Structure 1
Amino acid sequence: MMTNVDLLWVIFASALVFLMQGGFLCLESGMTRSKNSINVAIKNLADFCLSTLVFWALGFGLMFGLSYQGWIGSDLFSLNFAKTSPSLAVFFLFQVMFCGAAVTILSGIVAERMKFGAYLFVAVIVSGLLYPVAGHWSWAGLDGTGGSGWLAELGFVDFAGSTVVHSVGGWAGLALVLIVGPRLGRFDDGEGANTIKPSNMPTATLGALLLFIGWLGFNGGSTLVLDDTVPSILINTIVGGCVGAISAGGLRYAVNQRLDVDQFINGALGGLVAVTANCFAVSTGSAALIGLVGGMIVVFFSQILETLKIDDAVGAIPVHLGAGIWGTLATGLYGDLETLGTGLSRLEQVAVQGLGVLVYGIWTFGVAILLFSAGNAAFRFRVTEEEEIAGLNISEHGMQHESEMQTAERLSSDSAG
């Protein structure tokens, strides 16, 4: 039973995780072009509102309901929290924030080319099926109702969601971007990737800082109690993120002799993702090492995507999928076995972590590619070429920034003249 202090801590942590939605909004709108920034912003608000409703009605029960043989939950659907215990209500509050984070990862990946309605369809699939079923396998029973997921029974450990949240979002995003395709002009010349200039890097940097702050709640609140482990979890989180930024930034500086701002930002996020699975069970030095490798993985993964001509608008796949896989494996490599508490040897722990990475990849990517392909066949996900050129602010929402309107008026006047 959670004490009042525990309840207060988890409520505060939930608010910090909610702040991450603002971080995603600033990061994605800053890293994309101004003609799409309104669309990017409203997607981040809309997907949270919709995924909260879907998770309450369906996802929470699938994820944390009475387990059917460790595979799926079978109750706790559409709960009236006025009639439940405060502990369960606060637990839902915390978990719905995690669901929202997993969903909004996809927003940045396919920014600047996807219909708003189609994106909401994707948000329903992720929050109502992909994420909660995957989460049940590792986190069933965290609400205190008993039972556990089949992967957890094998010894798989993912403390705060390097895989359950971040890799699931990354796998689903990878499937979606393969269906939607790259933005116009990204790979058109056949000689490699063309850089699409971001609209506002200071805003994107602010987004990264908001995400950094939110991660304290993400990882620290995952204890679900305010105990002696929280301070070290918070420190490991900070250290992992900071070293990830320096790692990615330093690697790019060594190659280009200048600081690559977006890679510095994404390196920090990659370091944070990497320590999310293991921050409760590793030393501060190990957290630094995990963050170091996480930042490097972001850089290398970004290059791989460019080589394959996969257009991730904000670099979310390297951050959430690439660093998420590494953080999950690093739990087995560097986690204190006694703290992990699985009873497995080091080699066995690494093996079961690898199994989890494989299983989540097959489930999320496989089901996502099937359902998203079916949805795309039924109603085309991508906007038309004309709409993409005009920008999604005007084509999807009938809105423009004042500067865009002035530019359009000037071009119209020049043409008339």
Structure 2
Amino acid sequence: MTGSKKLLLSLLVLTAAPMCLAESATVSDEMFRINNTWMMVATFLVFIMHLGFAALEAGFTRAKNTVNILFKNVSILCIGILAYALVGFNLMYPGESFAGAFFGFAGFGINADSAALTSAYNEGYTYYTDFLFQAMFAATAATIISGAVAERIKLSSFMMFATLYVAITYPMVGMWKWGGGWLAEMGFHDFAGSTIVHGVGGWGALIAAWMLGPRIGRFHDDGHTDIHGHSLPLAFIGVFLLWLGWFGFNGGSVLSADPGGVSLVLVTTNLAAAAGVMGALIVSFTMSKTYNLGMVLNGSLAGLVAITAGADVISPAMSVIVGFIGGVLVVLGTTLLEKVRIDDPVGAVPVHLMCGIWGTLAVGIFGKADPAVLGYSLSFTSQLVGVAATGVFCLINAGLFLGLLKMTVGIRVSQEEETHGLDAAEHGIQAYSHHPFTTPN
């Protein structure tokens, strides 16, 4: 039988028997190749999300800071991959190298033996595919923070902070659940990272935005002034790249090409995103009597973040409710931040933190799964403990890292640099040559 015929036969068998992976202790070579290929495709999709984050952040901020935004985003990706390879992966997945259920470290660097490149390592992927998929997630946590501190943080300070946060904070929280730590033992459920990825990034974004203070002119005695981004079309493109990438973010988290599992996750993910748009649309129109594109775009992300924790255990019907409430929360959360005078240019805190918390707790409300298959029963209490523990740990870590940087090299640019734009101050170049975009505003 030729290789193409073998592949076709395997695909037909897989389609006809969705539960074969769960019932079999091993997989065929063809099935392993299919699983691993899907995981690599999912990795590529998550990689594209970083382009989405960059476009969204650039579009929601002013033209005079565009080069700085793009530079930060490419730096974060590279820092995230390298830091995760050096420290993070083995900190997040220490194997037997535990010092209790809160911390473990399997050593520096990544290295695979021959068995790690076969199904002996995992039925769904090789060691290297595992690392690459997880590394894309790690970089996302710091990228979330980038949007909340945009237009006023020192580039060098942010890069140092991102390195520490990706190398230490993110993988330690990840180990608590995905690496077999104490949250896993207590039955906390976070399928693809509403808390472990988006919550970690969101808590960091909150403390960083608060410690930096608002942009010049954002708040005043009479209230606040909206500082509009320079390109809603660019932000629009960014959101749809993120929505596309989320199919890999959540779909890849099945950790195999199991058709039943992947298709359910993709349906709940997409429904929640669409419902998030509608939730944000209805509430924002009710409050302002205008059709706010920025809120609608963030509404889709709110739905995506909210469903990420329970995409595998929440039904399609309930995913609509989860996503819709996420869309509502992003509008109310943005209003709340304005009232307490925390400046978040892209809405990172409402989208990733508030909706991440909601989505994680929603698992304990709407989630349904067979405990014999899942290995534990879903519990609202376990979800709440996981959210609270992650929040305390991330606030302390981010506050400590930023506090040390503030006392040493500083974390905020000067008033003059902020006024004229970070592109000119830190890069000596403008993103646009046309006069309307280069005028400081």
TM-score when normalising by structure 2: 0.87
1:74 maps onto 2:113 in alignment: no
1:29 to 34, 58, 68: 58
Rounded Cα–Cα distance in structure 2 between residues aligned with 1:202 and 1:407: 15
Q: Distance in 1 between matches of 2:437 and 2:43?
A: 42
Aligned pairs for 1:58-73 (under 5 A) are 58-66=87-95, 67-73=98-104
Structure 1 unaligned segments of length 5 or more: list them: 141-147, 412-417
| 2:329 equivalent to 1:297 | yes
CA shift, 1:191, in A, is 1.7
| Structure 1 residues 243 and 407: alpha-carbon distance in aligned structure 2, compared to 1, 3 A threshold | closer
CA distance in 2, matches of 1:235, 1:359: 30
In 2, distance between residues paired with 1:31 and 1:83? 47
Letter in 2 for 1:267: G
Give matches, 1:267-286, under 5 Å: 267-286=299-318
Give the AA of the match of 2:374: G
Q: Secondary structure at the match of 1:72?
A: coil
Identity of aligned residues (%): 38
Give the structure 1 partner of residue 406 of structure 2: 376
Deviation at 1:255, TM superposition (A): 2.0
Partner of 2:44: 15
For 1:355 and 1:113, how far apart are their aligned partners in 2? 34
Inter-partner Cα distance in structure 2 for 1:378 and 1:207:
35
TM superposition shift of 1:402: 4.4
2:284 corresponds to which of 231, 237, 252 = 252
Question: Shift of residue 81 of structure 1?
Answer: 4.3
How far apart, in 1, do the equivalents of 2:225 and 2:115 lie?
A: 54
Distance 2:434 2:67 in 1: 12
Cα separation, partners in 2 of 1:82 and 1:202, compared to 1, 3 Å: farther
Q: State the AA in 2 paired with 1:190.
A: D
Q: Which residue of 2 aligns with 1:118?
A: 157
Q: Which amino acid aligns with 1:80?
A: N
Cα 1:180–1:407 change in 2 (3 A) is: closer
The letter of the residue matching 2:247 is L
Q: Which amino acid aligns with 1:213?
A: L
Shift of 1:254: 1.7
Partner residue in 2 for 1:197: 228
TM-aligned CA deviation for residue 77 of structure 1: 2.5
Classify the secondary structure of the residue corresponding to 2:370.
helix
Instruction: Please give the root-mean-square deviation of Cα atoms over the aligned residues, in Å.
Output: 1.8
Distance in 2 separating the partners of 1:83 and 1:54: 24
CA spacing shift, 1:51–1:194, aligned 2, 3 Å:
same
> In structure 2, what is the equivalent of residue 414 of structure 1?
none
Q: Is the 8 A contact 1:23 1:209 kept in 2?
A: yes
Local SS of the residue matching 1:14: helix
**Matching residue's letter, 1:35:** K
Give the alignment partner of residue 107 of structure 1, picking from 143, 146, 152: 146
Q: How does 1:313-324 map to 2 (within 5 A)?
A: 313-324=345-356
Give the secondary-structure state (helix, strand or coil) at the position aligned to 2:411: coil
CA distance in 1, matches of 2:55, 2:197: 20
SS at match of 2:167: helix
CA distance in 2, matches of 1:193, 1:342: 50
The answer (yes or no) to whether the contact 1:337–1:343 under 8 Å persists in 2 is no
The residue number in structure 2 matching 1:145 is none
